[in-house]
Amino acid sequence: MAAAMAEKGYVGTSVEDVLKRARVSRQSFYGVFSSKLDCFMAAFDKASELLRRRLADAAGGGGDPMARFERAFGAYLEALASEPGYARLFLVEVYAAGPEAVRRRSEIQHGLAEDLAGLMGVTGEASRFACEIVTSAVGAMVTPAVAAGDMDAVRAVGPPVVEHVRLLLRSGVLDA
């Protein structure tokens, strides 16, 4: 699904396109999925799982909150850049898939903001909201690059975002 959509977008991708790429029969497809949207949601969940696992792996280990953030954020950008099909599915095509997919994307984004708050060790309401804003802003910053297939531009988001989070931390916006 991710590979087919990377080529044709959600709207332009048919079940037949997925069948050809997966080399499975229509009967096999419908034995697992009820529809194109159901297949999309399974691929979306897979992309989300991959992303969250890479973030968790990178955030592990020692260091202060900023060091943990830099590792996790770098892993996030690298996950997007190294998996362009999943990145496109997760950040671009999700909006074409309809309200259920957009709701799920919103839930994942909220979860990523919660993960960021935990990573930074913040507990206050204002600091948690700042984590929501950072997460939303990053999504808005990388989505056009992913849509254009420009993975160098995805990676280029890293340094300015890291510096901004560093400023938020120094200024007390991300106080525990």
CATH at 129 = 1.10.357.10
Looking at residue 40, its pLDDT comes to 93
133: Cα separation from own chain's centroid: 15
Per-residue tokens: 146: 């992913």
Compare 60 and 38 and report the one with higher pLDDT: 38
Domain contains 144: yes
pLDDT in tens, 156-168: 999 999 999 999 9
For range 125-154, the mean pLDDT: 95
Residue 23 lies in a domain: no
Q: Decide if 74 is inside a domain.
A: yes
**Residue 2 pLDDT > 80:** yes
What is the per-residue pLDDT for 6?
A: 84
Residue 92 lies in a domain: yes
Cβ atoms of residues 2 and 93 within 8 Å: no
- Angle, helices 99-120 vs 125-148, to 10°: value is 130
Q: How many domains does the chain have?
A: 1
> Is a pLDDT exceeding 70 seen at residue 176?
no
71-122 per-position pLDDT tens digit: 999 999 999 999 898 899 999 999 999 999 999 999 999 999 998 998 888 9
Query: Does 29 fall in a domain?
Result: no
94 DSSP 8-state letter: G
Tokens 């839930």, residue located:
107
Whether 11 and 96 have beta carbons less than 8 Å apart is answered as yes
- For the chain, report the end-to-end CA distance as a whole number of angstroms: 41
Residue 61 lies in a domain: yes
Please give the residue range of the domain that contains residue 40: 35-171
Residue 73 domain-assigned (yes or no): yes
Among residues 123, 124, 112, 126, the alpha carbon closest in space to that of 69 is found at 112
Q: Would residue 112 count as lying in a domain?
A: yes
Q: Taking residues 24-52, what's their average pLDDT? A: 92
Query: Identity (one letter) of the amino acid at 24?
Result: V
On average, the pLDDT of the chain sits at 92
